[in-house]
Structure 1
Amino acid sequence: MTHCGTVAIVGRPNVGKSTLMNHLIGQKLSITSRKAQTTRHQVMGIWTEGDMQVVFVDTPGIHIGGKRALNRYLNKAASNALQDVDLVVWLLERDRFTGEDAFVEKQIRESGKPLIIALNKVDQVHDKAKLMPVAQKMQMRFPDAEVVPLSALKGHNQDTLMALVGKRIPEGPFMFDPDQLTDKSLRFLVAEIVREKLVRQCGDELPYRTTVEIEKFDEQPDRVYINAVIFVERKSQKPILIGHQGSRLKQIGTDARMDAAELIGLPVHLELWVKVRDRWSDDEAALAQLGYKDP
């Protein structure tokens, strides 16, 4: 008999959810950066071994304060994931509990789903005894939950997490082919790669006002030809993104092309353009057209 189930990885922004899923799957599927709200969509990562398949759902960071349509979309994508899974892994930053963590806690309690609490970034704690009071406190708040200290970045104790997840996965047929790693298309993954390089290249504010759309994805036997458009919200943002004599856009393209070629397994010819789309992040219709559809 096979076992198959879905597991949502949730938490506030920038706590390490995407890094954790990538390590669990053994493949980079979700983009990562040090900036909050890098993840904007539900991304499934499929782990299959023997008679067990676990479908992890990486979610946008649940946050408070954002008033734009994009913020509402991100929170809804994360909240909806809580309703449709067999198990929740709640990622917290070891000894730090914020108002946004409390906001996440409220939604987890309302979902009523079985829970594993993962205390992240323990590799940065030299005295492991300091983790015990934090773990005990969370155990008291959620008596039925498992509490696991780990490092999403370094991989510490992730085998323990996987063992606990495996115990909660119900019997049932596989949802996906055993060789499949994600539900997302190469087109989607390449757009995310471009956005990751953009986020890492630009300052704190500009990445939140940008999105990427693939206009052309032409797979040939020996090469893939891709045209991508980066949308910004104001004309003044365009030269910032392009950089002096196109230097920043060129670097984004170079970095993205290398990762895309590794993902696809073929050489990639990537062309990037920057266009202005006024207030796209606060326009429901524009969001839908750009792929931010009701999850």
Structure 2
Amino acid sequence: MTPTKTVNHNFKSGFVVIAGAPNSGKSTLLNRLLGEKISITSDKPQTTRNRILGVLHLENAQCVLIDTPGIHKASGPLNTKMVEVALSSFQDADIILLLVDATTSGKDAHQTLLKALETQNKPVVLALNKIDLMKKEALLALISKWSQMMNFTEIIPISAATGDQVPVLINSLKGLLPDGPPFFPEDSLTDVSERFIAAELIREKIFRLTGQEIPYSVAVTVDQFSENPKATLVTIHATIHVEKESQKGIIIGKSGVKLKRIGEEARAGIERLLNTKVFLKLFVRVEKNWSRDTKSLAKFGY
């Protein structure tokens, strides 16, 4: 996607990196801010593996939002790569939005993040998420606690799930944006392709429908993505890559029931995204130890 060159001296624009520990609600917040689902979510940590960009169009302003993988003490090539992607995003940011799960907040869980933020000479807004699950007294104590950890530009309690206080957050980010022209046209929503989002939606259903081990051993590639305008139909063939034969069996399920459900739910999500009928065919393939092999990681886009 090519940035626009329109000059408007009353316009503000900039890049906002959404950073946080795994499962803090970054993808939920991105979807809430945009009013569209472009980043997958689940109740399992480390769901997001790639940098996802979304464009928020405001009155006389454009906020380019970047959803990043959760920052944590990484182990293994895949997790290490995910953390590298998140931390490297800080370089391009005009504003860093630190999102913290207020219900499980603790300094120890955010040491890696706080250490990285200390070197950033740019505004850092702290959003304490999931306030819909907290009592007011506990929230006030938490705000006081975090205000002593670092000199944040602003601390804003929000609920990405319900939308509570999200307009306040938007106004705060808009006020911190530097003057500048829009980077993207008014009809732009994201820089990722429909093909990429389709693969991510399939991976999301695997996260939601399988046990703890399986999602972290799965990669999804789209082998065919073709449109038939006459039939208003999109045909998608995708492969689910796992690391073991036993995982392949779990994904397929008894008599193919699990794979069928993954396909049905993924297809419904893709149809909502594309606003058209979708024919989705899934395959499952064993790619031994792909998450620990640098060549395989590169092949799958990590």
Q: TM-score, normalised by structure 1?
A: 0.96
Q: Is the 8 A contact 1:7 1:85 kept in 2?
A: yes
What secondary structure does 1:141 align onto?
coil
Return 5+ residue gaps in structure 1 as ranges: none
Q: Give the corresponding residue for 2:234.
A: 224
Letter aligned with residue 260 of structure 2:
K
Q: Give the corresponding residue for 1:182.
A: 190
Letter aligned with residue 187 of structure 2:
D
The alpha carbon displacement at 1:3 in A equals 1.2
Q: Give the corresponding residue for 1:235.
A: 245
Q: Which of 137, 153, 156 is residue 148 of structure 1 equivalent to?
A: 156
Q: Give the corresponding residue for 1:257.
A: 267
The alpha carbon displacement at 1:92 in A equals 1.1
Q: Which of 264, 271, 295 is residue 285 of structure 1 equivalent to?
A: 295
Letter aligned with residue 7 of structure 1:
V
% identical aligned pairs: 39
The alpha carbon displacement at 1:45 in A equals 1.1
The alpha carbon displacement at 1:188 in A equals 0.2
RMSD: 1.1
Q: Give the corresponding residue for 1:15.
A: 24
Greater CA deviation, 68-77 or 188-197? 68-77
Q: Is the 8 A contact 2:236 2:280 kept in 1?
A: yes
Letter aligned with residue 246 of structure 2:
S
Q: TM-score, normalised by structure 2?
A: 0.93
The alpha carbon displacement at 1:98 in A equals 4.9
Greater CA deviation, 239-248 or 101-110? 101-110
Matched, 1:93 2:101: yes
Q: Is the 8 A contact 2:126 2:152 kept in 1?
A: no
Q: Tell me the alpha carbon deviations over residues 260-292 of structure 1, each in whole angstroms, 9 at most, x when there is no partner.
A: 011111100000000011111011111111111
The alpha carbon displacement at 1:219 in A equals 1.3
The alpha carbon displacement at 1:97 in A equals 0.9
The alpha carbon displacement at 1:12 in A equals 0.5
In 1: Cα distance, 2:251 partner to 2:122 partner: 42
Q: Give the corresponding residue for 2:68.
A: 59
In 2: Cα distance, 1:2 partner to 1:83 partner: 23
In 2: Cα distance, 1:113 partner to 1:204 partner: 37
What secondary structure does 2:81 align onto?
helix
Q: Is the 8 A contact 1:62 1:100 kept in 2?
A: no
In 2: Cα distance, 1:143 partner to 1:37 partner: 27
In 1: Cα distance, 2:282 partner to 2:211 partner: 19
In 1: Cα distance, 2:162 partner to 2:284 partner: 36
Letter aligned with residue 106 of structure 1:
K
Q: Which of 116, 120, 128 is residue 111 of structure 1 equivalent to?
A: 120
The alpha carbon displacement at 1:76 in A equals 0.6
Q: Is the 8 A contact 2:13 2:182 kept in 1?
A: yes
